């Protein structure tokens, strides 16, 4: 065997060793985090609660200014706008159709 063949075999071994080291680094798993470091389960925010409340109002209350602001904020959040917390507001005094029809039957 000539000297160039030995150098070529050595170079191939070095390249193979670098390849294996790279694979090892890529597939290395991160250290396990303790439970206290894990983020807590997200709780529904005020916007989610307001969206549910406005969704339950029905089409007759579509002109509610607070609900329009809530839907606008939801669109802004969805399209990447900054999330601003909304101040909680009491439910409107208007009755829904279901409540109004039940009130008539009593």
Pure H helices in 1-106: 3-26, 46-57, 65-78, 97-105
Contact residues for 76 (Cβ-Cβ < 8 A; gap 6+): 82, 83
The pLDDT score that the predictor gives to residue 106 is 45
Confidence of residue 13 (pLDDT cuts 50, 70, 90): very high
Mean pLDDT across 19-27: 93
**d(Cα 60, Cα 105) in Å, to the nearest integer?**
21
The pLDDT score that the predictor gives to residue 90 is 53
């Amino acid at each position: 065997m000539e000297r160039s063949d030995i150098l070529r075999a050595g170079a191939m071994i070095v390249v193979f060793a670098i390849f294996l080291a790279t694979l090892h680094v890529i597939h290395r798993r991160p250290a396990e985090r303790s439970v206290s470091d894990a983020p807590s389960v997200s709780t529904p925010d005020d916007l989610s609660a307001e969206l549910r409340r406005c969704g339950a109002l029905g089409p007759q209350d579509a002109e509610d200014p607070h609900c329009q602001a809530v839907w606008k904020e939801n669109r802004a959040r969805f399209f990447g706008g900054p999330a601003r917390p909304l101040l909680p507001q009491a439910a409107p005094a208007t009755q829904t159709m279901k409540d109004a029809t039940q009130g008539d039957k009593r």
